[in-house]
Amino acid sequence: MLDREDENIVWHEHHVSKSERAKLKQQRPCVLWFTGLSGSGKSTIANEVERRLHQRGKHTYLLDGDNVRLGLNSDLSFSDADRVENIRRIGEVSKLFVDAGLIVLTAFISPFKEDRNRVREMMQEGEFIEIFIDTPLRVCERRDPKGLYKKARKGEIAEFTGVSSPYEAPQEAELHIQTENMSVSTAAKSVLEYLEKKGYLRC
Ligand code: ADP
């Protein structure tokens, strides 16, 4: 990456600060980083969490896999280098939205620990909340909401996480949700309880 300081490009502090924006919204901005296999339930649970936060008057924004790949990251493939760049850009966008005072939710497989940790390091202490949606591969494959496992097993999708590409499970996620025997509603409730307990929903 380019060293921007050499080009005299530096971060500008604005007159209105992150904490002032957050105060107006009565919330502590953060990113809820959902990670897990395809079909594990990241998107479904993140949507439900966002709905509940919105109902409580909280300002949120959900960044979702396909939507980002259709726009911001439409130039990226699924090669190793592009997967790294995909997560890096999502991290940077999340950081800007956190700076704007929002509670950001992201739903990306983000299979590699190093990539997730790089995003964690971009944020300030307490702003990155990793949520491991831990659903066994056999359950994801049974759900197969987009028919992707079927295609991957037939060899029609190269390097598919869980089938032909590894998933590195988080060891120290802030939240660990096992969905096999848990409803979407209970999973969402546990995220809201965490945010409440840790003081993210007031300022
Ligand atoms: P991902 O975003 O991780 O790829 P999705 O949320 O798109 O996964 O798909 C998960 C699928 O599993 C959905 O069709 C959802 O309705 C279903 N599902 C069944 N039980 C659960 C549960 N307990 N938690 C989350 N999703 C569940």
CATH code where residue 100 lies: 3.40.50.300
- pLDDT at 59 > cutoff 90: yes
Q: CB pairs under 8 A, 24+ apart, for 173-177?
A: 173/35, 173/130, 173/131, 173/132, 174/129, 174/130, 174/131, 175/129, 175/130, 175/131, 175/132, 176/132, 176/134, 177/45, 177/131, 177/132, 177/133, 177/134
Q: For residue 180, which atom of ligand 1 is closest to its CA?
A: 23
pTM: 0.93
- Ligand 1 binding pocket includes 179 (Cβ within 6 Å): yes
Catalytic residue among 40, 94, 110, 165: 110
Distance 107 CA to ligand 1 centre (A): 11
- pLDDT at 162 > cutoff 80: yes
Segment 2-8 mean pLDDT: 72
Q: How far is Cα 109 from Cα 149, in angstroms, rounded to an integer?
A: 14
The answer to whether residue 2 sits within a structural domain is no
- Ligand 1 binding pocket includes 126 (Cβ within 6 Å): no
* Res 12: pLDDT: 81
The answer to whether residue 3 sits within a structural domain is no
Residue with tokens 């032909």: 164
The answer to whether residue 1 sits within a structural domain is no
Q: What is the DSSP letter of 15?
A: S
Segment 110-123 mean pLDDT: 96
* Res 74: pLDDT: 95
Q: For residue 182, which atom of ligand 1 is closest to its CA?
A: 23
- Ligand 1 binding pocket includes 40 (Cβ within 6 Å): yes
Choose between 164 and 1: higher pLDDT: 164
Residues 6+ apart with CB under 8 A from 19: none
* Res 8: pLDDT: 82
Q: What is the DSSP letter of 137?
A: H
Q: What is the mean pLDDT of the chain?
A: 94
- pLDDT at 2 > cutoff 70: no
* Res 3: pLDDT: 65
**Domain count within the chain:** 1
The answer to whether residue 191 sits within a structural domain is yes
* Res 153: pLDDT: 97
Q: How far is Cα 60 from Cα 136, in angstroms, rounded to an integer?
A: 29
The domain in which residue 145 lies consists of: 16-197
Q: Give how far Cα 67 sits from Cα of 21, 51, 53, 64, 105, Å.
A: 26, 18, 21, 6, 13
Distance 144 CA to ligand 1 centre (A): 9
The yes-or-no answer on residue 110 being catalytic is yes
The answer to whether residue 202 sits within a structural domain is no
- Kindly report, residue by residue over 177-192, the tens digit of the pLDDT: 999 999 999 999 999 9
